[in-house]
A and B are shown apart, each in its own frame.
Chain A
Amino acid sequence: MAVEVRIPTILRTYTGDQKAVTAEGATLAAVIDDLEANHPGIKERLVENGPTLRRFVNVYVNDEDVRFIGGLEAEVSDGDQVVVLPAVAGG
């Protein structure tokens, strides 16, 4: 499943400054692994031990926060739009 992944400014160092890249996979986990294959280092910014999505990174598939649709196991279909947005948070 080929999807478009929108990359936030802070992660564009991994994608040669591109703000969107394509990736393949049937689940978000697979898409992230594919991103890592083409843009090494990016996976660690998204995923931590578990494996689980990092707490302050938001990922959306077709505008839905993946936390509500299975997290890393969220299903992804051809043509889907994936967006990564770091949380805006602090103390």
Chain B
Amino acid sequence: MLTIDQATRDAIVRHAKKDHPDEACGIVAGPEGSDRPERLVEMVNAAGSPTFYEFDSTELLALYKQMWARDEEPVVIYHSHTATEAYPSRTDIGLASEPNAHYVLVSTREHGNNEGPVEFRSFRILDGEVSEEDVAVVPQL
């Protein structure tokens, strides 16, 4: 189960809508072992693509060094799908390499950059296996 606060959830959705039609991506860091997604970090999609995302390698290192200095880990790794459902693709599954992370997918296929609901779903991806989990959106963590 993913427990996330409203403000962080809304910020992820805003990011996805803003970057549509390119895939948006980022993480929410939290204290190691806490399972608390506390600190949103929007990342640049270095691929700049409507069908692929990748963190720039230099920015990735800076992000991880920042987390290590703060005893954090990536609690949520999120990205958006712009024309397909909010479900991990084969590529997503093949490249998922943070076993403890909640993989959040947002789909902007219905409303693009505009107002309107999005699909917001969360998954665990372990050893090539996907399992969907409930998302609890709370006022505050």
Contact = CB atoms under 8 A, between A and B. Distances in A.
Given A10-B98, A65-B61, A85-B60, A90 B55 contact: no
A64 to B, nearest CB: 8
Given A88-B55, A89-B52, A90-B92, A9 B61 contact: no
B95 A90 contact: yes
A78 B55 CA distance: 30
Nearest to B77: A88
A60 B55 CA distance: 15
A58 B47 CA distance: 16
Contacts of A83: 61, 64
B48 to A, nearest CB: 13
A77 B130 CA distance: 41
Contact of A65 (B51, B58, B88): B58
Q: Which of A8, A56, A60, A89 has the most CB of B within 10 A?
A: A89
A65 B77 CA distance: 22
Given A87-B57, A88-B54, A91-B53, A9 B64 contact: no
A71 interface: no
A89 B103 CA distance: 12
Q: Kindly state the interface size class of chain B when it binds its partner.
A: 20 to 34
Contact of A90 (B57, B58, B96): B96
A44 B58 CA distance: 23
Given A9-B99, A56-B95, A88-B55, 14 more contacts: A65-B61, A83-B61, A83-B64, A85-B60, A86-B98, A87-B95, A88-B98, A89-B47, A90-B52, A90-B89, A90-B95, A91-B51, A91-B53, A91-B91
28 contacts: A8-B97, A9-B99, A56-B95, A58-B60, A65-B57, A65-B58, A85-B57, A85-B60, A85-B64, A86-B95, A86-B97, A87-B97, A88-B60, A88-B98, A89-B52, A89-B53, A89-B55, A89-B95, A90-B52, A90-B79, A90-B88, A90-B91, A90-B92, A90-B95, A91-B23, A91-B51, A91-B52, A91-B89
Interface of B: 23, 25, 27, 43, 47, 51-55, 57-58, 60-61, 64-65, 77, 79, 88-92, 95-100
